[in-house]
Amino acid sequence: MSLDWSKREFEVYVLLYAAHCNFIETEEERNYILSKVDEATYNKMHTEIVAESDHINLEKIKLYLRDNKYSEAEKEKLIRDIKKVFFADGTVDVMEKKVFGVLQKILN
């Protein structure tokens, strides 16, 4: 599998993965992600997230990080953005907490 994504596309993919982890993408989560990217990129990455399994989504995230240079500062910023997605609707459920731990482990 080869991913031909820009860093922005990768970041949107990760944020959408976070938003979809509990199978509910709230309007607040959507709006937060759209505040970071144009609608065409959002729609492209959204299609990829929903079309594939959770396992494939995580494998793509790991693959991108393995094959691309990502600084510690970029990783820390992405972790902060993931937190903002989770808190966008005002609550963080058990599934979101679990996925945050997984993403944090992958990114560190």
Instruction: Region of 78 please: left (phi>0), alpha (psi -120 to 50) or beta.
Output: alpha
Range of the domain at 29: 7-107
Q: What is the rounded distance in angstroms from the CA atom of residue 7 to the CA atom of residue 74?
A: 10
81 inside domain:
yes
The amino acid sitting at 101 is G
For residue 17, how many other CB atoms are within 10 A of its CB? 22
Q: How far is CA 44 from CA 9, 15, 16, in A?
A: 9, 13, 11
pLDDT, mean of residues 28-45: 95
In contact, 67 and 3? CB cutoff 8 Å:
yes
CATH assignment of the domain containing 50: 1.10.3680
Contact 31, 105 (CB under 8 A): no
Whole-number pLDDT of residue 16: 97
Report yes or no on 51 lying in a domain: yes
- pLDDT higher than 80, residue 15: yes
Specify if 23 maps to a domain.
Answer: yes
Q: Which runs of E-coded beta strand occur in the chain?
A: none
User: Is 86 contained in some domain?
Assistant: yes
Residue 2 maps to a domain: no
Residue 1 lies in a domain: no
pLDDT given for residue 22 in this prediction: 86
Q: Provide the number of structural domains found in the chain.
A: 1
pTM over 0.75: yes
pLDDT per residue over 53-62, tens digit each?
A: 999 999 999 9
Structure confidence at residue 23 as a pLDDT band (50, 70, 90) = confident
Above 90 in pLDDT, residue 69? no
